[in-house]
Every structure is written in C-alpha cells, then in structure tokens.
Structure 1
C-alpha cells in the first residue's frame, strides 16, 4: 500500500520530468482496489485504504516541510510530524471510503460504480471540508490522455470518478466476463460516449478565438528567505519589477503574487505613482496587473491584485478569497503552532467569490491568486452569465515557499485542468515558476525556465462560450456530484436479496 500510494503521487507529476502519467494513476489505484477486495474484513480494508492515502498524500505535498522548516523556522522533527499528521488526517476520508466499499461485499458493475462513488465522496470531502485542501486529487493526472475529454463535462472530481471506475474495473475482469453480453454492451456505450465527448470537444475548441493580445509575464526569482528583508528582497523586488513595468513590453503586463512585497504606505514616496502613471495615461497601449498586499491594521489586510488601465483613474482591485491555512489565516486553536514559525503577513481578510474581471483590450481578465486555482467550483462562479464571463484567466503565484520542488509542476497541471474545465486560456505569472501561457486546450504554448529571472513575452487568445461543467458548477456548485455519488452509495451498499 505504501508503494502503491507513492506511485499515485508520482503519477501526478513524475519526478524529474514533472509530467503527469494518466495510466500510472489508474494502475496504482487498481492496486488499492485489489488490496481492498482481498481484505479479510472491512476494518482491514479501511486500514489499507488509509495507508495508501497517507503515503500518496505525503508523497504529493511533502514540500510543505520546506515552507515550515526552511522558511518558517519550525524545528525539522515538528515539520515532519506536521506533514505526516495532515496526510494521516486527510487519509482518513479514504479509509472510510474503503470501509464502506468492503462492507457492501459486492462484485461486477455494482462494485465498479460503488467504488467510484465512495472514492469521489472522499475526494470531495478533502476538497471542501475545513476550507478544503484538494492538492493532488487523482483527476489532475488526466490533463493529458484519453480522460482529458471529461473535465469540460465533469470537472476534475468527475474525471477522477471515471478513473476510479476504470481502476476497479481492471480488478473485476473475471466477474464481468461472466456476463459477456452486459460487458460488451456497457463497453460499447462507454466507447460511444467517449467518442461523442471527444468529437464535441474538438468542435468546440476549433471555433476561432478572439484576436491575439500580447502579454508580458514577469518572473522576479526573488529568494524566499530574502523576500521580506528591507535591504534584500524588498529592495531587489521594487527595483526589478519597477524597471520592467516602466518598459511596458506588451498590451498586458502581469507581475506575480506580492511582487510588491510591502503595503503601499510602506513604499518609497511616489513609487506607486511613478510606475502606474504610464499605464493610466489615456491612449496608453498597455495595462498591468500587479500582486501586492493592501490594507491597514484598522481596515484589515488583503492579499490582492491591483490593475491599472489607460484612462481609468480608479484602479482595478481583486482580493484573494480562498486563503491558505496557517499562511494567510490561523485556524481556531492553532495560534500556538503559527507562533512557532516566522512567517510574516499571517492574517488576511477574504474577498468575495466571483469578483468582476478587469476589462481591457476587448478581453475580460479574471485574476486568481496562488492556490485559488485548485477550487474550480469557485472560479466557476464567474460563468453564470456568458456575456460577462472571463475570456482569459490569470493566476499570480509565489511557489518559492516550497523551494525547487515538484510543487511547481504540480501547480502547473492544476492550472491546466482549469483551462480544460472552462476552455479558457490561463496566464501564470510567478516568482520562481512555472511562468507560462496555457491555451484553452490545456497545452503550454510559452514558458520561462523555472528559478530564473526573466520576462515572458507571448500572445494569448481569449475565448467565449460556456462549457457544460461551467454551466452547472456556476449555478449548483459541486452539489450534483455529491448527490449522484451519495445516491450510488445508497444503491450499491444496500443489502442484497438472498435467493
């Protein structure tokens, strides 16, 4: 189970290449399916499910150790214990899923559907309860491969449900072949649905986009251990980002999360006025989106994105909604834990869900900050009205908290999944990587090397229309998935009639 869980983590971004391996995600999950089937009791099945999930989650977000120990100053043993405790706690959801499945004691298609439902409920619970931490959900391994046609219909969790069904089906070959006609019929229907979904996706993506717009994405590569030192990272950031902004290298210039790392009132006199004035001038060819903290002790602080548009004296503002536990807010009863770490700016106010995008150059640019792009259901709130839905998504991040780790590639695939769900391109401007342009098909069209300082100048084409996933998630959130999975569990776990 520990090995299978480790392979599940590796499938999300293979160490070295950083590429997702869709087939390995299904194969490693099928090892869990075999183990749960062969467990002598539901309790043993739960234990195996917990071991698998804990290994998978530790292998996925082990890099939290870097932020807590290297940059937060938490003693190494406590940082290791914190990562293990988080993985073990989240792994308990999958233990319950394995217990429910094993208690049902079923086989064939009933086993396939019940496992997919139990697994998806566990994924949904991890992604929503206690503010949610869905990093490393199994569906993210499928930004490439045959299941990449399903995000536009089902989102990442629905795609993960399809993968879970396939994993269990691989272990049910003998029971299924006992009903050959049923197997062939269901197989034909599944193949037909996949072909239809692929054709519809191809037709939708073939529709011409808007006129290309030039963009410049800034990657300052400011070391995290210097970022908040006045004579170090702060001075370097203000100088480098200020210089790049004044050059106005494209129609839209984007700087990453906290590119300006201090509050406006802490900046040198006239600094903001100097770098924003060229963008606010009527007739200027360029606009800008800049990550920076805003607020005061009395008003509260916000992790924000500020926008400057030609001819607009009032600046655009986006405030981060989904805050990072322990980094941007302190959960109840955990103040003692945060006091042990030396991480600044630890308490922010929340922005609202579905804040209006910034209009510029015929496009509607919708920012999100750092790991907000894990929550497709929240980004989906923008799409309830097609006429004002974003045409381009913009993510600004600072993954330097996690060093030179696999977190960079994992976050890139998360952003790619959002482009598949909404069929919108996404710009990613980050401090250390991955700074890229992703098109509406989930493909990276331009990129900068990670952990280097540079400016990525490229073009992006905005898109219109609303995908099926965007349509239902903008109105109902994730409730349709919850209800479908619960209904399957109730059906699948019911006692079987004895002949």
Structure 2
C-alpha cells in the first residue's frame, strides 16, 4: 500500500482508481446492499492510502466513487421525461459525485494536516470525515443522505441511534475503521480493541432492541394505501383520474377477515389530481370512500400565484380537519434557487406540478387527531432531517410520512429513503407510518423494525395496528449538539498535541 513520496505519473491513476474503488466499497454498506462487513474494511484501507499519497486528491476520488455507487439513483428523475431531461442525467451524477468528493477531500486533507505522524493524522482524518457528514447535514438546506452511520441499519448496532443519532453512529464507524492506524507498532492491539468494541455494541444493541415497549391503552388501526401510479403516467389526463379512483377503491375495500376497520387512512404525497382550493366533488368522494373515517392525504393547494405541497386530513363530508404545508422543500426538485431567473431560460423544478416550484410552508407543526394521537407530519424529504423533528415537548405520539418515491427508480433510492425513516423511529423512539405512491409503504415500530410493508411496484393496502411508542430517547433530548461540541474539542486536542510535537521536534533538531 505504501506509495513512494513524489510518486510518478504512472502511480497517480492507479492510486485514484483504487481510491474510487474503495469509496465504492464503502457505499456497499448503504441500502439496498447493507454490506457493512465490506464497508468497514474498505473505509479502513482508505486511511493508509490517503496518508501515504496526496490526501486531498485521493480523498476526492474516494468520495466520488462513494457517491457514484451510493447515489446513482440521482439519474432516475431525468428519465421520467427523457426527451426533455435525459441529456442532463450524466451531468447530474457527475456533479453529485464531485460535490461529495470535494467534501471528502476537504475533510481528509484538513484532518491530516492537523496531526504529526501517522496516528494523529489518521485520527484527524477520521474526525475530518465525520465533520463532512455533520456539515452536509446542515449547510445549503442540508443533505444528510448515506451517512456513515446508516450502514448499521439492519444490525443491532443501529439501536444506539437512540443515544447518538445516525450522525453519532458515523463517528463510531470511522473510529472502528481508523483503529488499525492509530498505533502502528501495536496494530494487533488496536484491531482487537476495535473488534471487542463492535461485539459490545452488537450485544448492547440486542439488549436495547429487546427492551419491552408499553402497551397502547387503545389500539389505533391504520390503513396505508399504495396505489402504484408510475411517475411517467401520474399526471397524464388519461391516467390521473384512473389513479384517483384506484385510491378510492383501495380505501373502500373491506378489511381482511379478522382485521378491524381502520381508524385512519393514509394516502401518499400528491395523491389527487386537483387542488385543495378547487376540489370539485373530489373531497366528498374521498370522504364517501372512507365511510366516515378520516383520510390523511397529499394534495397541492394554491394561494394566488403561490403553490404548496400539502398534507390534509379529510373528515366526514369532505371537510378539511387539519392542514400542513411542507416546509423543507427539495432543491431543484420542488423549487429552483433563483427560480424566476432560471425560469426565463426554461429550467423548472421537477416535482412541482404547478408553476415553476412550490413555496415553503410557514412553520412545522403537529396535528392533533384526538383519540388517534398527536402526529408529526412529514412530507417526503422531510423525514431525512432528524434535527427538524420534534423530540421535546410537545412530543408527538407517532410520525406520519407521505411520499412519492416514484421519481427515484426502483432500486436504491426508495430503499435508502425507507432506511432514513427507520432511523427517525429509532432516534425518537416513535412508531412511523409511511404511505408511498409506488413503494415502499411501511409501518415501522419504535425500534426501527418494519412491522408491515408493501414493496416497490405493488398495489394494495396495509391494515395494521400502530405500534406503541418508547420512552423519550436520549437523542431526542440532546440532538446533535454533543457531537458538535465533542468534534470541536477533539480537533483542538489533536491540533494542540501536534503543535507541541512540532515544537519538541524543533528543539531536538537545535
């Protein structure tokens, strides 16, 4: 693995190709692969490769390889209307990968510069990579997708997200990967310690997952509707009405033998072909199909020239009992930064069906459904932002997500979005009900386990009782603040140690 200092041009493309391959190997830990046992070694091997070459350039190619494998679903929205947007797909993937590569390159290079000697430089790189996850979770509206901690989702280790959050699990992941390079003369010792730490996390997670949950005083029976309306047909005049009637038919189906009637029915995001403020007979038809039960559905609405991506609860008679406008919109999907300027050259938002984009709702809020509990509504992308969920008073009783993942193909994108929803359930100790247009619809318990689901491309309903909530979690009370403080302290400690080491080296040279 050691590359000579000042390695010649023959080595450079080989090093960059190896870095990209290792980055792709790390991505195999993400959904739908879930191969954490490959991701950790690949991540670990990146440390000596970066330390013994040019950290910035090597980190750039590693990050690009990671994004290319983990987020190649980014091309799928461009092929919903390939004649118009298909040419943009390779550029979208390239610039997405380049952006991730630059984050990794900066984190690795700056982290490596903090230390003196391989151990402190490796520790600095681990903290630098953790900082990239933290920063991109918040800046430029945030993009906390495929974080390092997400690789643990289908293992007991994921339960520690209730304490550390998904970001904190990323720090654990990087610590395990960096361990072999922290004491070069005692590599066997550090590897053994890391292995024992992983075993402890594994069995600790089993204990957390097995902890009993309180029983609900009264059951809440849900019906989750998945109509399976392909995105390339969803808004076509010949199909929109058909899909609306499909929602109605699925809603009015009698429950299976032995199943109680639902107390609440969930439809996915943008489920209906009309505006809330101009529904015609649409809302009355929804209420009639629901036979007196409330329906929470995704719908668009307008106020003058502004349009909103909303969730409305429709009660008996088609009355709107509650309304929530999506606050955290998807950049370039639901709105275009400097949209008025870009609209002049024909660049508009992909997912916005009216105008050139949606307007953001004024505030996040909880919806009180009376005996069915207080819920936090999450429309699509909002479920990926842990720091925007109400974990303190007032605490919701459960989380409700409606989404349309048909934009993102059938392979990795929708499964990664489901993984995010499962992490929110673990982090906050709350069950989550998820209605997705083409999948994956699911009912998730407070430990992040999928109780029931409808896979991609399926049409049907989930009839199931809402699982109980757990006690408020540590993460719900603290959020990411301890991680930010800990990162700052650790970086300062490495810097101070390196500075003293440099001073001591100069004294010895004198």
Same fold (TM over 0.5): yes
Residue 252, structure 1, aligned to residue 264, structure 2: yes
Shift of 1:114: 2.9
Q: In structure 2, how many angstroms separate the alpha carbons of the residues matched to 1:448 and 1:168?
A: 39
Task: Tell me the CA shift for residue 36 of structure 1.
Answer: 1.4
Equivalent position SS for 2:222: strand
TM-score of the two chains, using structure 2 as the length reference:
0.84
Question: Which secondary structure state, in structure 1, belongs to the residue aligned with residue 500 of structure 2?
Answer: coil
For residues 203 and 344 of structure 2, the distance between their equivalents in structure 1, rounded to whole angstroms, comes to 51
2:230 alignment partner in structure 1: 223
- Between stretches 354-363 and 419-428, larger displacement belongs to 354-363
Within a 5 Å distance, the mapping from 1:5-154 to structure 2 comes to 5-13=23-31, 18-39=32-53, 44-71=54-81, 73-106=83-116, 110-111=120-121, 113-154=123-164
Whether the aligned pair in 2 keeps the contact of 1:126 and 1:132 (CA below 8 Å) is yes
2:445 to 436, 439, 442: 439
Conservation of the 8 A alpha-carbon contact between 1:436 and 1:445: yes
CA contact (8 A) 1:72 1:341 kept: no
Match of 2:323 in 1: 317
Task: State whether structure 2 residue 403 is matched by structure 1 residue 397.
Answer: yes
The answer to whether residue 365 in structure 2 is matched with residue 358 in structure 1 is no
Cα deviation for residue 162 of structure 1 reads 0.6
- Say if 1:4 and 1:31, in contact at 8 Å, map to a contact too: yes
Q: Secondary structure at the match of 1:169?
A: helix
1:262 aligns with 2:262: no
Deviation at 1:445, TM superposition (A): 1.4
- Other-structure match for 2:286: 275
Q: Distance in 1 between matches of 2:297 and 2:419?
A: 23
Cα offset, 1:141, TM superposition: 1.1
Q: How many Å separate the matches in 2 of 1:332 and 1:371? A: 21
Counterpart in 2 of 1:492?
A: 494
CA separation of 1:359 and 1:464: change in aligned 2, threshold 3 A:
farther
Shift of 1:430: 0.4
Aligned to 2:29, the other structure's residue is in SS state helix
Return closer, same or farther for 1:191/1:370 CA change in 2, 3 Å cut-off.
closer
Q: Could you tell me how far 1:472 is from its partner in structure 2?
A: 1.2
Match of 1:469 among 475, 495, 498: 475
What is the Cα deviation at residue 426 of structure 1?
A: 1.1
The residue that corresponds to 2:359 in the other structure is 349
Residues 1:270 and 1:436: Cα distance change in structure 2 (over 3 Å): same
Number of residue pairs matched?
A: 472
Contact 1:363-1:462 within 8 A present in 2 as well: no
| Residue pair 1:153, 1:421 contacting (<8 A) in 2 also | yes
Query: Cα distance 1:27–1:327, how it changes in 2: closer, same or farther (>3 A)?
Result: same
Question: TM-score, structure 1 length as denominator?
Answer: 0.86
Query: What is the alpha-carbon distance in structure 2 between the residues aligned to residue 349 and residue 218 of structure 1?
Result: 27
More moved, 343-352 vs 392-401: 343-352
Distance 1:291 1:195 in 2: 39
Q: CA deviation at 1:301?
A: 1.4
Give the conservation status (yes or no) of the 8 Å contact 1:356–1:366: yes
Q: Which segment is superposed worse, 242-251 or 334-343? A: 334-343
C-alpha distance in structure 2 between counterparts of 1:354 and 1:414, whole Å: 19
Q: Equivalents in 1 of 2:145, 2:495: separation in Å?
A: 29
Shift of 1:73: 4.5
Aligned to 2:9: none
Out of 152-161 and 332-341, give the one that drifted further: 332-341
Using CA pairs under 8 Å that are at least 6 residues apart, name the structure with larger relative contact order, 1 or 2: 1
Kindly indicate whether the alpha-carbon contact (under 8 Å) linking 2:375 and 2:398 is maintained by their aligned counterparts in 1: yes
Give the conservation status (yes or no) of the 8 Å contact 2:251–2:289: no
Distance 1:199 1:455, change over 3 A: closer
Contact 2:63 2:101 in 1 (8 A): yes
1:214 aligns with 2:221: yes
Q: Aligned to 1:206, what secondary structure does the other structure show?
A: coil
Give the alignment partner of residue 332 of structure 2, picking from 326, 330, 333.
326
Change (3 A) 1:198 1:337: farther
